[in-house]
Amino acid sequence: MTTSPYSFDLRKKVINYIEKGKSQASASEAFGLHKNTVNRWWKRYKEVGVFTAKPRLGFKSKVNKLELEEFIKNNPNIKLSEAGIKFGITGSQVGNILKKLGFSYKKKPLPTWKLAKTSENNTNK
């Protein structure tokens, strides 16, 4: 579950509300926020001088996507699991990255013996 930070405008209104002499508890009630949230914003504003949201860094991928893309272009018939072993991730992760890069899964054509067998059955009837 991911949540986005509260807007800059809301944070500004809360800080202005407290600066006018109101308490943090009344600010939390007035704006429908938890008292700990208002407390953190006020404390950060007093210590650092800003009340903007902290940047969220997120997850850093283990795989260089350009390197993976080049590897797949050079080895078009490789299995996802084999590519995953080379890059130290699972085959499903390779598939997800390739999907984001715009690659699509293409089924290989049926083996010729199956095609011949099917066409032989149709001519014998």
pLDDT at 124 over 80: no
pLDDT at 23 over 60: yes
CATH-assigned architecture of domain 59-104? Orthogonal Bundle (1.10)
> Would the pTM of this model clear 0.75, i.e. be above it?
no
pLDDT digits (tens, 9 = 90+) for 85-98: 999 999 899 889 98
Domain extent listing, the chain: 8-48, 59-104
Query: CA 94, CA 81: separation in Å to the nearest integer?
Result: 8
Tokens of 42: 């006020």
pLDDT digits (tens, 9 = 90+) for 26-56: 999 999 999 999 999 999 999 999 988 888 7
Phi/psi for 109 (5° steps) reads -65, 155
Query: CA 36, CA 89: separation in Å to the nearest integer?
Result: 39
Q: How high is the pLDDT of residue 1?
A: 47
